[in-house]
Amino acid sequence: MADPNEVTDPAVQNLIAAINAGDRTAFFAALTADATMSDDGRDRDLPSWADHEIFSAPGHLEVISASDGGRSLIADYRNERWGQMRTRWAFTVTGGKISRFETGQA
């Protein structure tokens, strides 16, 4: 029996690995071409947000708990801009790639 807290969805696994490696190419490869996102309930420009929150202030995501194969997460997220905070993440996967994610403080 699989651990219910395990991230098993390959699209989510790829996105987390890309964030933690600081790999912008892999990050966007894990997303659909028209992917969207929100942060604390506000839709954001995804490329700008990713550059600001992940790649220019190296981000790292550590999963604390997961459900639905990792499509719903509680994680400790840290970067050089904000430090560490408990965050929630919800992913919509379409055709094996993430088409939307929503994040914010947990």
The residue count of the chain comes to: 106
Residue type, 24: R
Q: Which domains, and CATH codes, for the chain?
A: 10-105 (3.10.450.50)
Nearest to 96 by CA among 7, 9, 8: 9
| 13: helix, strand or coil | helix
pLDDT tens, per residue, the chain with 106 residues: 345 568 999 999 999 999 999 999 999 999 999 999 999 999 999 999 999 999 999 999 999 999 999 999 999 999 998 899 999 999 999 999 999 999 999 9
pLDDT of residue 3: 58
Residue type, 52: H
Q: Please name the residue that has the structure tokens 């790292």.
A: 60
Q: Please name the residue that has the structure tokens 């790999």.
A: 23
Residues 77, 61 contacting (CB under 8 angstroms)? yes
For the whole model, what pTM was predicted?
0.93
